[in-house]
Amino acid sequence: MKIAIASDHGGVELKSAIVNALSTVATIQDFGPATKESCDYPDYAIPVAAAVAAGEAEFGILICRSGIGMSMTANRFQNVRAAICQTTEVATVTRQHNAANVLCLGANDVSPDYAVEIAKTFIATPVDMDERHARRRFKLERAGRLSDCSGLMHDDPEVFAAIKAQTEQEDTEINLIASENTSSRACREAAGSVLMNKYAEGYPGKRWYSGCLPVDAAEELARKRACELFGADHANVQPHCGSAANMAVYFATIKPGDTIMSLSLDQGGHLSHGSPVNFSGKIYNIVPYLVNKETEMIDYDDLEKQALEVKPKILLSGASAYPRTIDFKRIREICDKVGCIMMVDMAHIAGLVAGGVHPSPVPYADFVTTTTHKTLGGPRGGMVLCKAQYAKALDSAVFPGMQGGPLENIIAAKAVSFREWMQPEKKEYAAQIVKNCKVLCKTVQDRGYRIVSGGTDNHLFLVDVKTTKGITGKEAAAALDAAGIVVNKNTIPYDTESPFRTSGIRVGTASVTTRGMKEPEMIKIGTWICDVLDNIADTSIQERVKAEAKALVAGFPVP
């Protein structure tokens, strides 16, 4: 057992009594002070609290005259629960109920002998795992998620109100937006960190400004981890978003007017794959490919035939609303026949690729672009992976080609997210996203709803509400929203409705899976979706589902 201990000038004697008594049963790290010279208690409380917060010490012990300043300082740290104990009874209860991990003692209140007894009781008492105490500790630790931004409460109440509203929305609604996920606290901490203060035009080791060593370290971690996670030769982690990642590849490889072949936007492609209203459609000659009208899936023979005729410079695959596995090996073969660049935008499925539940495009593609915030669940941002031979051209395309200073705070959060994905439990998580999606999809399908392509292989599916119920995607999404279930309207292949109305809705399971939901919850949610859409004008059903949905999500807290 490791114990970190410190005091101020008022607690030196008590501290040495405890160190002497406990050094036979624990490894004690004494953070001082050694003398009774006047000092500032936070200077001594901080290293002890930091050691406990980081998990380097199991317990902390802090002593001043009253114990109060020490406990206040220590309790500023996440995962530190510091308690002032004047009796062994209090030490017992605060261990059992609050899982206190920092013992604070007042030298004015207890004798050295009794302090030793309190300390021994504290470290020997196990935490009570009873549900009610666990629940209360959980609430304490999260502070209603408001501790994330508690400074804003006072400094900017208006912005704070917006964040609080988002927090409440996440806490009460079922989020099935396929392009969204829920980031970890660690990720948000990095994203909100002081790394945002630094200008770092250039790349690690080759920056324009001085003072870049800390951000170099963060960006190097992100690049290294990205390459390791996805098995890539090279990573550029600077693109501000997925669209910028795509722009970087175009800029690195082709000239204005050159031809790109990509999946049609209204069949699941993305704006930045060549929509006329997007830079990509304005600068390049875009030739869309379509899914097979019967199967609503990519027909690789048709794709090959078209690609050989069109002879694009880039064959771009990847989508925003394609529910099926993409055969990257086959696409590589097509690209080799055509002699074009193989570019894959895995924005939606990056987490499934990282978790090993969708084949990786990385071994095949010249370039792989992605966002880091969809199934990957990291900070909002973009990234490009490429073969070694393109590394230089890619990096110059990002900077100085299109961006100035990178967002090093976001890059650090990307690094945090990549590390999270290297933990073994993420494999299970990715598999659960797909399992949940299949169950949710089947529940809706079994109630008679037509599913585009007849099912799903990944984290999303499309429901044809027009054919099934004669309603538009817009109406369906609005009714579900009123019932506390958030989806988006989406065009389906060969849609006869405008993109503003659409015939379909898109449903994704990344966010609910992050919250820990499994198959039984998917059956409930699928049933609610159908209850609402079966009787779209019945607002009493929407109200009933909203209440039930709220009760369900209460049991699956946001990280």
Ligand X SMILES: *Cc1c(COP(=O)(O)O)cnc(C)c1O
> What's the one-letter identity of residue 202?
G
Q: Which stretch binds ligand X (CB under 6 A): 237-245, 437-445, 464-472, 519-527?
A: 237-245
Q: According to the binding rule CB under 6 A, does residue 275 interact with ligand X?
A: no
CB nearer ligand X, residue 94 or residue 246 = 246
- Identify whether 380 is a catalytic site residue: yes
Q: Is 546 an interacting residue with respect to ligand X (CB under 6 A)?
A: no
To ligand X, the closest distance from the beta carbon of 241 in angstroms equals 3
Q: Which residue is nearest to ligand X (CB)?
A: 242
Binding residues for ligand X restricted to 312-351, rule: CB under 6 A: 318-320, 345, 347-348
Task: Describe the crossing of helices 473-482 and 539-554 by its angle, rounded to 10 degrees.
Answer: 60
From 201, 228, 258, 531, active-site residue = 201
User: Residue type at 177?
Assistant: I
Q: Among 242, 351, 377, 406, which residue interacts with ligand X (rule: CB under 6 A)?
A: 242
- Whether 550 sits among the annotated catalytic residues: the reply is no
Are 352 and 375 a contacting pair, CB within 8 Å? Answer: yes
Nearer to ligand X, 17 or 460 (CB): 460
Task: Provide the token pair at 37.
Answer: 């010279």
Q: Where are the alpha helices (DSSP H) in 83-175?
A: 88-98, 112-124, 131-142, 150-155, 157-172
- Tell which positions 435-464 bind ligand X, by CB under 6 A: none
Q: Determine, following the binding rule CB under 6 A, whether residue 270 of this chain makes contact with ligand X.
A: yes
Which residues share a beta bridge with 4?
29, 60
313 or 506: CB nearest ligand X: 506
Q: Helix or strand or coil: residue 488? A: strand
Compare residues 243 and 456 and give the one whose CB is closer to ligand X: 243
In the range 75-94, which residues lie near ligand X by CB under 6 A? none
Positions in 144-183 near ligand X (CB under 6 A): 179
> Which residue of 280, 360, 371, 417 would you call a contact of ligand X, by CB under 6 A?
371
Buried b (16+ CB within 10 A) or exposed e, 149-173: beebeeeeeeebeebbeebeebeeb
- Whether 120 is catalytic is no
**Active-site choice (369, 371, 443, 514):** 371
Long-range contacts of 527-535 (CB under 8 A, 24+ apart): 527/443, 527/447, 528/483, 528/485, 529/444, 529/480, 529/485, 530/443, 530/444, 530/447, 530/449, 532/479, 532/480, 532/483, 532/485, 533/449, 533/465, 533/469, 533/471, 533/476, 533/479, 533/480, 534/447, 534/469
Q: Which residue of the set 170, 199, 442, 501 is catalytic?
A: 199
Give me the least distance between CB of 346 and ligand X, in Å please: 8
Residue 371 catalytic? yes
Q: Does 506 bind ligand X (CB under 6 A)?
A: no
Minimum CB separation of residue 38 from ligand X in Å reads 54
Minimum distance from residue 380 beta carbon to ligand X (Å): 7
Separation CA 310–CA 334 (nearest Å): 12
Q: What is the 3-state secondary structure (H, E, C) of 231-294?
A: CCCEEECCCCCHHHHHHHHHHHHCCCCCEEEEECHHHCCCHHHCCCCCHHHHHCEEEEECCCCC
Which of 382, 473, 484, 526 forms a contact with ligand X (CB under 6 A)?
382
Task: Find the catalytic residue in 224, 330, 380, 515.
Answer: 380
* Active-site residue flag, 41: no
Residue 65 and residue 106 in contact, taking contact as beta carbons nearer than 8 Å: yes
Stretch of residues binding ligand X (CB under 6 A), selected from 22-30, 57-65, 240-248, 544-552: 240-248
**One-letter amino acid identity for 18?**
I
348/358 with CB nearer ligand X = 348
Copy the structure tokens of residue 5.
């201990």
| Least distance to ligand X, CB of residue 244, Å | 7
Report the residue from 73, 94, 175, 243 that binds ligand X according to the rule CB under 6 A: 243
User: How many angstroms separate the CA atoms of 104 and 52, rounded?
Assistant: 13
Q: Which residues contact ligand X (rule: CB under 6 A)? A: 179, 241-243, 270, 272, 318-320, 345, 347-348, 371, 382
Residues noted as catalytic? 199, 201, 345, 371, 374, 380
